[in-house]
């Protein structure tokens, strides 16, 4: 099924146009990387705060309120640029196990971040009151986001 | 002078560690991934400071607050990016040295570093005076230039990949 989808996608007008105009893919990739930078630094700072390793003067809820909105925006840009890249060269990504792993981890990371956020909304001091669980959530988050970047890079090599 | 640099590059890529990176299937991708992760942290964190200087983000916090929170990350991850970058470069030094995008990237890095230095030694020195008030033009300029340079560095870095490996 995947090969058929790839064939169909790469034959569409949109895909052809993106492939033909030489500067689109490098530009979209650079935008993708820059958005990764935003997500990574936001999550790194928030996760280390959840673990109690940094910036303890600032509460988790204040930090999250600052960092998460820009992270969601970056995620939207990542989705748009990512979709563009997949449409342009579907055969490089869709059948690629590294890419599939990346997508699975992305879903998990988004769900986890949403849970973190929702608990803060229910109770501002939620994570400060549960340091053990906070450390677990932060560690899982860090591993997932790093894993996503690693899988993203390795999908270029496989 | 140019021949000397090329000679150094040649010697560098012939060292045992450079050769190991070049010939291993997984060493280069691993170091490159670390380089990307470190660079991501550099760019993401410096962008926070730059956007604050431009008065576009974190306006409720002082410049000093933002820079104190952000700069340790920036410097730490820059060190990682620099070390991994040197390792990557060494694996095929002559080729990278001759690569236009690589040279441009190094120029931008140097200019960006210079911009940061000028800002820290100059405008930032008097930050207490303007921190809670209007950001001086020099500070906005430094923030804007820094952002442009780092976006350029990332773009050129990606471009190096395009021009040195088979896609």
Q: Which residue of A has its CA nearest to B159?
A: A26
Measure A94 CA to nearest chain B CA, in Å: 17
> What is the enclosing helix (H) or strand (E) of A92?
helix A90-93
Q: Least CB-CB distance to B155: which of A30, A37, A38?
A: A30
Contact A37 B57 (CB under 8 A): no
Q: Which residue of B has its CA nearest to A92?
A: B167
pLDDT band (50, 70, 90) for residue A153: confident
Of A49, A69, A70, A51, which Cα lies nearest the Cα of A60? A49
Picking from A27, A37, A157 by the largest number of B CB atoms within 10 A of its own CB, the best residue to mutate is A37
- Does residue B166 have a pLDDT over 70? no
Cα gap A81→A104, rounded to integer Å: 18
When the pLDDT of each residue in chain A is averaged and rounded to a whole number, the result is 91
Does B40 contact A at CB distance below 8 Å?
A: yes
Chain A residues in contact with B48 (beta carbon < 8 A): 41
Q: Least CB-CB distance to B159: which of A26, A149, A153?
A: A26
Contact A149 B57 (CB under 8 A): no
Contact A153 B155 (CB under 8 A): no
Average pLDDT over residues A72-95: 93
Write the DSSP string, B36-67.
HHHHHHHHHHHHHHHHHHTTSS-TTS-HHHHH
> What is the enclosing helix (H) or strand (E) of A128?
helix A126-129
Q: Least CB-CB distance to B29: which of A42, A55, A153?
A: A153
A30-80 pLDDT, tens digit each:
999 999 999 999 999 999 999 988 867 888 999 999 899 999 999 999 999
Does B33 contact A at CB distance below 8 Å?
A: yes
Quote the percentage of chain A above a pLDDT of 90.
62
Cα gap B115→B139, rounded to integer Å: 11
B58: left (phi over 0), alpha (psi -120 to 50) or beta: left
When the pLDDT of each residue in chain B is averaged and rounded to a whole number, the result is 89
Measure A66 CA to nearest chain B CA, in Å: 8
Q: Which residue of B has its CA nearest to A70?
A: B57
Helix axes of A60-88 and A24-50: crossing angle, nearest 10 degrees: 160
Lowest mean pLDDT among B86-90, B101-105, B110-114: B110-114
Average pLDDT over residues B97-107: 93
pLDDT band (50, 70, 90) for residue B167: very low
Cα gap B160→B100, rounded to integer Å: 8
Lowest mean pLDDT among A62-66, A139-143, B98-102, B114-118: B114-118
Does B88 contact A at CB distance below 8 Å?
A: no
Average pLDDT over residues A71-99: 93
Average pLDDT over residues B72-79: 90
Cα gap A147→A145, rounded to integer Å: 5
Q: pTM above 0.90? A: no
B31-52 pLDDT, tens digit each:
999 999 999 999 999 999 999 9
DSSP state of A58: S
- Does residue B134 have a pLDDT over 70? yes
> What is the enclosing helix (H) or strand (E) of A5?
helix A2-11
């Amino acid at each position: 099924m995947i090969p058929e989808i790839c064939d169909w996608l790469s034959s569409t007008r949109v895909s052809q146009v993106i492939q033909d105009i030489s500067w689109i893919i490098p530009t979209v990739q650079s935008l993708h990387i820059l958005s990764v930078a935003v997500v990574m630094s936001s999550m790194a700072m928030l996760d280390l705060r959840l673990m109690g390793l940094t910036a303890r003067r600032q509460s988790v809820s204040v930090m999250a309120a600052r960092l998460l909105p820009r992270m969601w925006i970056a995620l939207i840009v990542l989705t748009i640029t990512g979709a563009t890249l997949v449409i342009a060269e579907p055969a490089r990504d869709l059948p690629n196990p590294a890419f599939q792993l990346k997508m699975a981890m992305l879903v998990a990371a988004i769900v986890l971040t949403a849970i973190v956020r929702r608990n803060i909304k229910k109770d501002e001091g939620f994570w400060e009151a549960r340091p053990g669980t906070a450390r677990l959530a932060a560690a899982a988050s860090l591993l997932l986001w790093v894993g996503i970047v690693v899988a993203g890079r390795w999908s270029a090599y496989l | 002078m140019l021949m000397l640099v090329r000679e150094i590059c040649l010697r560098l890529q012939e060292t045992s560690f450079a050769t190991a990176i070049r010939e291993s299937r997984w060493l280069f991708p691993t170091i490159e991934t670390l380089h990307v992760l470190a660079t991501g942290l550099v760019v993401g964190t410096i962008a926070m400071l730059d956007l604050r200087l431009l008065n576009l983000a974190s306006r409720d916090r002082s410049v000093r607050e933002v820079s104190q929170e952000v700069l340790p990350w920036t410097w730490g991850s820059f060190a990682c990016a620099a070390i991994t970058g040197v390792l990557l470069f060494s694996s095929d030094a002559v080729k990278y040295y001759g690569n236009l995008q690589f040279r441009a990237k190094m120029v931008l890095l140097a200019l960006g570093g210079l911009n940061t230095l000028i800002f820290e030694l100059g405008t930032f020195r008097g930050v207490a005076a303007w921190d809670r008030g209007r950001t001086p033009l020099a500070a906005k300029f430094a923030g804007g230039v820094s952002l442009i340079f780092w976006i350029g560095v990332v773009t050129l870095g990606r471009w190096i990949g395009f021009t040195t490996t088979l896609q």
